[in-house]
Structure 1
Amino acid sequence: MTSSSTTSTSPLPARTPVLIAGGGPVGLTVAALLAQQGIASTVIEADSSFCDGSRAISMSRRSLEILGWIGADKPMLDKGLSWVGGRSYFRDREVLHFEMPAEPTQRFGPMVNIQQYYAEEFAHDAAIATGLVDVRWSTRVSNVTPHGNGNTVEVTSANGSTHRIEADWVIACDGGRSTVRELLGLQLSGMQYDGRYVIVDIEQATSRPVERLAWFDPPSNPGSTILMHRQPDNVWRIDYQIRDDEDPAEAVKPENVLPRVQSHLDMIGETAPWKPLWISIYNAKCLTLPQYRHGRVLFAGDAAHLVPIFGVRGLNSGLDDAGNLAWKLAAVLRGEAADSLLDSYSIERVHAARENIRYGAKSTEFMAPPNYGFRLMREAALRLALENDSVRSLVNPRQTTAIEYVDSPLNIADFGAFDGGPHAGLPAPEASIQTTGGAQHLSELFGQHFVALYFGDIAPATKGSGGVRVYSVRDTVAIRDGDIHDTLGQMRERFAAAPGTLYVIRPDGYVLGRWRNGRDIDIAAIIDKALQQTTRTA
């Protein structure tokens, strides 16, 4: 970690529009996104600084887009290690080499490896730079009392003193052991797996490519499964499965961990000197709250759901929570939306959590088989994959992807026939563009406002609405504000657009609705309707 946090010495506020419990990457990103919308918040974090050791390490393209909306993408890319694929081995033979979709014109690669404490630092810096975020370290939430107009929150500082804060809204981003969740008597539901993984960070110089590496039953540690990821600062993240009969307390002792690490490094030919930095233990959990809104308390990140690490869905899904929640809560606080809009946050993100859990469970059952039957099937698949390409898809780790918001109350059914492109509830595809404002990728236009994309020379009028940016998508060079030059024809192709096509995109980059003949559509009225209700008919 290259810098430390600073603690404010000013008195805690008596009132705040939004109190965010938890100063991890999700809480700090929510705070920064709210600030981009002009909403002030107070962040309460029990720790004295950014996290230590190995937590989340792989950031998806979607997460980088969200961090880009607060200006934290550049430091992430400057520090992080990009990767596009990986390799899996059965014993000492390769059974899978996969690559995720990537192209030279994209703004971000599929994945970037970076330690969580850097993600926290960069989100923190972005939040503080807005001047609207007050972060309080070494302070914990000790009580939450909801009432009709908000919440009375009691916080306790490191010296034991207590303070009451009236918060219109509370966002619980305080992790898997959420204090706010416990104080409200809420419980996660689902299942957890018995299989345990030791997580080890070591420092060692290496010239290997940045890839996701996995070994099943390797000669270095027979019967185990081992994962390796390179991280910045010459750090390896190593995860290995322990036997069911091993004592977890014994398994994390250095005298038991370091020989296993050395054996594996010897096997793969990594001979440079190394030293351990962090050792912990983990078992996969598939848990979620049934709903993420409870009155004026909202849940996000691990406080709302716990997803297996396999497929890197944990922090990435939490940042997607932040991107979904911030614009909706800001609209409510500005008086532009009914607070029922926040019900759609819960509906959409609970659905996303269940999808992430479904995929994560499949990956977990392959990476850490829960019983003899699963182990037998996995070994059969691995043996077949040695000789049969068609079986290798079973070994694929199913990396995280953006979730479709099926049956979201905000979705507007298509008006007109489309033979492709994203319908309502799907994220808008990335595309190379040019605007007079300097944007080079479509995703740069999202984050704060609704965006209307009209494929034609003269876009529809918005009747004075300030909550939407309307663009004419053209094949010619952008010469005026509101023009998008579809430089490579990607937008026309990826949106299945014809002259007159209109898309309305939510601030979080998801499609609200689309029209084949959009010239006379009242875009402001469409958006106002979305903000005022969460049930609709097409």
Structure 2
Amino acid sequence: MNDTYKGIDRIGPFAYQRFAPTVPLLDNGSEPVRHKVIIVGGGPVGLATALGLARFGVSSVVIEADDSVCEGSRAACISRRSLQIVERLGALDQFLEKGLRWSRGRSFYREHEVFDFTMHDDPSEKLPPMINLQQYYIEHFLLQAIERVNASTPGVIDVRWNSRVTRFVALDAGAELEVDNGVEKYRTSTDWLVACDGGQSFVRKELGLELKGTAYEGRYVIIDIELPSNAPTERRAWFDPPWWPGSTILMHRQPDNIWRIDYQLRDGDSPEDALSPSRVQEFVQTHLDAIGEGHLPWKPVWTSVYRAGAMTLDSYRHGRILFAGNAAHAMPIFGVRGLNSGFDDADNLAWKLALVATGRANEALLDGYSAERIEAFHENAANAMRSTEFMSPPSRGFDLMREACLSLAKDNPSIAKLVNPRQTHAVTYSVNAGTPDTGFDAGPAPGSVAVDLPLDIEGRFLSDVFDFAAFTLLGFGMSAGRVRTLADLVAKIPVPVQVRNLGVVGSEADLFAAADEYEKILQSYGAADGCAYLLRPDGHVAARWRQPSVEDVWDGLSRACATVFDELEESCHS
């Protein structure tokens, strides 16, 4: 992105805090301490990775080139799946308190509404399908979570502001880096380097790696404005509007009366001209006049230019260097898969890197991170590319097809479905999914995300009892003897595993649900008494069994950790 309004002190009520660079203790220009993990990039993905590692007791250093959180809305739509991740990171309350919940979107062709979609939003569910929240708030709330973590475990996350990696050398056992913070240039080293340094990743370029895929020619201007509008929180899209013909316009409400407007540059429009104050004034006023809000006072607070692309690295692991977020892949904004994909990267990577870095799992587990997240990229990209080709046609042929679709959509609901922006959703992994899956006709299959359901009248949900700093072996109505046997097994395994047994009040379970809720949970999981699910720390199902044996659980954990626990093999199979 090429953005303006750099160095701003405030957007609405949000005041930027500027951080001084940290000068670590040095010995002849080098840090005498070798770090377990260094994360390059202190945006949402880097901060989320650091928080995820800290859940497992793994310390990290975050090196961030800027002196504060980002400027402008940037990634502003957070999905339910990302909110599940944010809950594990300890920042959910702040996200929900400040974010604006929404589930509806409307699309217009010229002056007519042609499509209206509503995402599933059941009040009984724990989390909304989507919230709008500016990225500067996202980073701010993650930093507050880091402060809380450091208050209980001092120094587990060391965020170093205004610091830039100027050179690094990849080694078989880690990396050596040179850092310049404007006060001191120093050398430091790490066992593992995680590159979360964005679309222009320095780490990626230094290794000579390139993103491969599709880069679209169309450009979009992003304009954040402060506007005291009472319009509802929903996604609105205008195709070829009469007041700005030949373009597509998107508009989203954000907290603090900040509205985000994205619009497509037309042929012949230059990005530099589009960002000029006079052009911004002309476009925004024209648009607001057209939608009936031109009488309201407004002012621009941030602008940028964006080019859509769906590109990825061939691998997200290169020895002891790992890539996540925009350093690993690029996503179009349509369908809000950018930061949401980045949160999934961090969630998948953190527990795997923590187990490997502490010697509890084989390094092959990190190859699984790369394979799973590249699989997710291709699924996301397929949907995002279809949305992008509709929102910003790459050729005259696509343009004609879209024009025909939009002109017919108003009176043809089946055609109107083609206007659907295909919002992001949780991904099901097919690789490293765990043990063979047999005997289930329903419920979340291995690789998919566990279903979260109400547990009792006290307002607890199933996810409230999962330990996401560990694997969870969730049993349904298992006998006390079976639970003890499985608990004895997992106690001998070096990776953390909690065993929970769900049942109705009065049963042998240690976790209780009301009878009605228990039946609903059994139905949703396709389960019956005696069944068990093995859930990974990122909430994905690793394996499930009708009547799990010790051998089953040993095999499921071995597969999920890409590690053979040799010392248990003989006892498990005897």
User: Do they fold alike, i.e. is TM over 0.5?
Assistant: yes
Following the alignment from structure 1 to structure 2, what is the Cα–Cα distance between the partners of residues 215 and 530? 46
Aligned counterpart in structure 1 of residue 471 of structure 2, from 438, 450, 454 = 450
Following the alignment from structure 2 to structure 1, what is the Cα–Cα distance between the partners of residues 325 and 18? 21
The runs of at least 4 aligned residues of structure 1 exceeding 6 Å deviation read: 477-480
8 Å contact from structure 1 (residues 433, 486) kept in 2: no
Asked whether 1:20 is paired with 2:45, we answer no
Alignment CA distance shift 1:219-1:441 (3 Å): farther
8 Å contact from structure 2 (residues 489, 550) kept in 1: no
8 Å contact from structure 1 (residues 434, 486) kept in 2: no
Asked whether 1:474 is paired with 2:503, we answer yes
- Alignment correspondent of 1:518: 548
TM-score, reference length from structure 1: 0.94
Aligned AA (2:242): P
Task: For residues 500-536 of structure 1, give each alpha carbon's deviation from its aligned partner in whole angstroms, at most 9, with x where no partner exists.
Answer: 11111111011111111226555355314532439xx
Following the alignment from structure 2 to structure 1, what is the Cα–Cα distance between the partners of residues 58 and 341? 23
- Alignment correspondent of 1:207: 230
8 Å contact from structure 1 (residues 435, 481) kept in 2: no
- Alignment correspondent of 1:142: 166
Aligned AA (2:249): I
The structure with the greater share of residues assigned to helix is 2
Asked whether 1:283 is paired with 2:312, we answer no
The structural deviation recorded for 1:440 is 2.6
Task: For residues 134-193 of structure 1, give each alpha carbon's deviation from its aligned partner in whole angstroms, at most 9, with x where no partner exists.
Answer: 00010011112111211111111123x321111000000000000010111111111211
8 Å contact from structure 2 (residues 330, 338) kept in 1: yes
- Alignment correspondent of 2:72: 53
SS in 1 for 2:533: strand
8 Å contact from structure 2 (residues 504, 512) kept in 1: no
Asked whether 1:420 is paired with 2:433, we answer no
Asked whether 1:531 is paired with 2:561, we answer yes
Alignment CA distance shift 1:487-1:505 (3 Å): farther
Task: For residues 322-346 of structure 1, give each alpha carbon's deviation from its aligned partner in whole angstroms, at most 9, with x where no partner exists.
Answer: 0000000111122210111110000
- Alignment correspondent of 1:507: 537
- Alignment correspondent of 1:33: 52
Following the alignment from structure 2 to structure 1, what is the Cα–Cα distance between the partners of residues 108 and 394? 20
Aligned AA (1:421): G
- Alignment correspondent of 2:434: 411
User: 5 Å matches for 1:290-301?
Assistant: 290-301=314-325
Following the alignment from structure 1 to structure 2, what is the Cα–Cα distance between the partners of residues 243 and 530? 49
Task: For residues 56-103 of structure 1, give each alpha carbon's deviation from its aligned partner in whole angstroms, at most 9, with x where no partner exists.
Answer: 000000101101001111101111101012101111111111111121
User: 5 Å matches for 1:257-268?
Assistant: 257-268=280-291
Aligned AA (1:82): R
Following the alignment from structure 1 to structure 2, what is the Cα–Cα distance between the partners of residues 435 and 500? 25
Which deviates further from its counterpart, 320-329 or 190-199? 190-199
Alignment CA distance shift 1:484-1:347 (3 Å): farther
Following the alignment from structure 1 to structure 2, what is the Cα–Cα distance between the partners of residues 338 and 404? 23
Which deviates further from its counterpart, 172-181 or 418-427? 418-427
User: 5 Å matches for 1:103-502?
Assistant: 103-131=122-150, 132-159=156-183, 161-270=184-293, 271-406=295-430, 408-414=431-437, 416-434=438-456, 439-442=460-463, 445-458=466-479, 460=483, 461-463=486-488, 465-466=490-491, 467-476=496-505, 481-483=510-512, 488=517, 489-502=519-532
8 Å contact from structure 2 (residues 220, 263) kept in 1: yes
Gaps of 5+ in 1: none
Following the alignment from structure 2 to structure 1, what is the Cα–Cα distance between the partners of residues 515 and 161? 46
Task: For residues 291-310 of structure 1, give each alpha carbon's deviation from its aligned partner in whole angstroms, at most 9, with x where no partner exists.
Answer: 00000000000000000000
Following the alignment from structure 1 to structure 2, what is the Cα–Cα distance between the partners of residues 520 and 53? 53
Alignment CA distance shift 1:3-1:75 (3 Å): farther
Following the alignment from structure 2 to structure 1, what is the Cα–Cα distance between the partners of residues 230 and 515? 39
The structural deviation recorded for 1:434 is 4.3
Following the alignment from structure 1 to structure 2, what is the Cα–Cα distance between the partners of residues 223 and 5? 41
Which deviates further from its counterpart, 458-467 or 419-428? 458-467
Aligned AA (2:436): A
The structural deviation recorded for 1:457 is 4.3
Aligned AA (2:523): E
Following the alignment from structure 1 to structure 2, what is the Cα–Cα distance between the partners of residues 229 and 504? 39
SS in 2 for 1:124: helix
8 Å contact from structure 1 (residues 352, 403) kept in 2: yes
8 Å contact from structure 1 (residues 451, 506) kept in 2: yes
The structural deviation recorded for 1:443 is 6.2
Which deviates further from its counterpart, 480-489 or 202-211? 480-489
Which deviates further from its counterpart, 458-467 or 238-247? 458-467
SS in 1 for 2:256: coil
Asked whether 1:83 is paired with 2:102, we answer yes
Following the alignment from structure 1 to structure 2, what is the Cα–Cα distance between the partners of residues 444 and 279? 43
Gaps of 5+ in 2: 1-13, 26-30, 151-155, 565-574
8 Å contact from structure 1 (residues 462, 522) kept in 2: no
Aligned AA (1:462): A
Following the alignment from structure 2 to structure 1, what is the Cα–Cα distance between the partners of residues 311 and 161? 28
Aligned AA (2:335): G
TM-score, reference length from structure 2: 0.88
Aligned AA (1:514): R
Alignment CA distance shift 1:190-1:522 (3 Å): closer
8 Å contact from structure 1 (residues 288, 306) kept in 2: yes
